[in-house]
Structure 1
Amino acid sequence: MSVTGVWVVGALPDETVRSLPRAAVQAFSSESSSALPDVSGEWAWWESRAQESMFSKSSTSQGSWRAGEDAIRLRAFLDTRRDESEEAEALRDAVMDRFPREGEAGLFAAVARKACPFSALAYALGPEAVRRLPGWFGEFLLDAEQVRARLPAAEKTLALTGARRRDAVERIHAWMAGLGDDPHHDADELLDGPLRVLRHAARTGQAVAAQVRWY
């Protein structure tokens, strides 16, 4: 049975995040290390492979990619670092209910068959850049003050140009084709969309949440 990966980044009223229990917010924060699993071993492995391509171009189809063993290992690492408890799922549902409607400012959503959009972005950016992003493997809750504080790092990480952007776009396509079933995924939007939401929230004094879902 096929699965669909979804990554959603949305602005929401600041009071919504401020009203949540601190423990719930910290569960999605990379700073609350005591509540998170130890990933140091796999992270060190990823850092040692970050400059290498984990895919090869397939000779059977123009523009298609074949995933190597390292890509499969990285997918397993990135796709499973997620709190799947009932409490965490209830929090995700409650937060998503406060997001803007589709098509409105302040909402970004990426969908891919058989692949997680955030994992594709993480492979494209590399581990050092992913550390600069807020939260825990694509999931975070930031109040308005935290949005403003974290925006410069997000801009440094996502506002890519020139050769760096072309390389990131190619890596996203490789991931989506080699591990997923979405070879024509909008890689530029995967880079631009989350940053657009963060900038919108900073301008309007809103909070921002991001979450990974599988359907």
Structure 2
Amino acid sequence: MGFTSAWAVTAHPDDVMADVRPHVLPRIERHRQFPETRRAWRAWCADPLPDHRDWDALRQLPGKHEAITSFLRLTSMIPLDELHCSGDRGVHLYDLWEGADDAVRPYLGFYRKDYAVSALFHAIGPERAALLPGWCGDFALTAEEVRRSLPAVEEALGFTPVERVAAEERIWLDDLPDDEPVLDGPLRCWREAADTGLGLLGVNVHLY
């Protein structure tokens, strides 16, 4: 059965984030602490996967199929699906996206049968991914938290020309010509939000 996922990074003033955070942060933290989640994260950090173009052959080797499946589950198990599937009246994702502060152009990555976060994390590896706030693309940051975390996000998502080529080779997403690459959009949002004194909401969800 097909699905479409979205990773949205949108900017909001702190009064909006104050309303959103009580609904978002406990779900993120609960998911982060699941034993299965922690095991999958430790396994990926201990043995990062090789280039995705080699996965078909690697799946035939003992343990490698499980390692690939574990990584994909880690980066596609989406706790914030509850916010627009369970009837939670405190957060309406579509309203938040439409009402994002126009001082920062949102990053919106929509993919059919794929996940922007999975592709990004594979491209940058666990050391860089660990620098990103929140958990696997989900976060709800105040303006001050955005400012404080910007250097770490710059380190995670900033590339020398050689590093950029390597990351592009490891990413498997097929973007349309007008799409903003996932290697660019989140960092741009961070920089613009830090400059304009806004918080950031990152939500990785299934649309359908």
TM-score scaled by length of structure 1: 0.77
C-alpha RMSD of the superposition: 3.1
Within 5 Å, give how 1:97-108 maps onto structure 2: 97-100=98-101, 105-108=104-107
1:53-64 alignment, distance < 5 Å:
53-56=51-54
1:81-107: CA deviation from partner (whole Å, max 9, x where unpaired): 524432669635153342257xx7431
Structure 2 gaps of 5+ residues are: 60-64
Deviation at 1:125? 1.2
Q: Deviations over 1:130-149 (max 9, x none)?
A: 11101111011111111101
Identity of matched residues, %:
29
Q: Quick check: 1:204 aligned with 2:196? A: yes
Q: Say if 2:11 and 2:198, in contact at 8 Å, map to a contact too.
A: yes
Partners of 2:179 and 2:130 lie apart in 1 by: 20
1:143-183 deviations in Å (ceiling 9; x for gaps): 1111101111001110112222211111112xx3xxxxx37
1:137 corresponding residue in structure 2: 136
**How many residues get paired?**
196
CA contact (8 A) 1:12 1:207 kept: yes
Equivalences for residues 166-205 of structure 1 within 5 A: 166-173=165-172, 176=173, 182=174, 189-205=181-197
Give deviations 1:21-73, integer Å, cap 9, x for gaps.
x53242265xx46973232211121123216334328xxxxxxx888424333
Amino acid at match of 1:195: L
Of 135-144 and 82-91, the range deviating more from structure 2: 82-91
SS, match of residue 11 in structure 1: strand
TM-score by length of 2: 0.79
Unaligned runs of 5+ in 1: 58-64, 177-181
Give deviations 1:193-215, integer Å, cap 9, x for gaps: 11111111111111111111212
Aligned position for 1:36: 33
- What amino acid sits opposite 2:133 in the alignment? P
Match for 1:71: what amino acid?
I
For structure 1, which segment, 66-75 or 182-191, has the greater mean C-alpha deviation from structure 2 after superposition? Answer: 182-191
- Contact kept? 2:23, 2:90, Cα under 8 Å: no
Alignment check: 8 A CA contact 1:28 1:139 kept: no
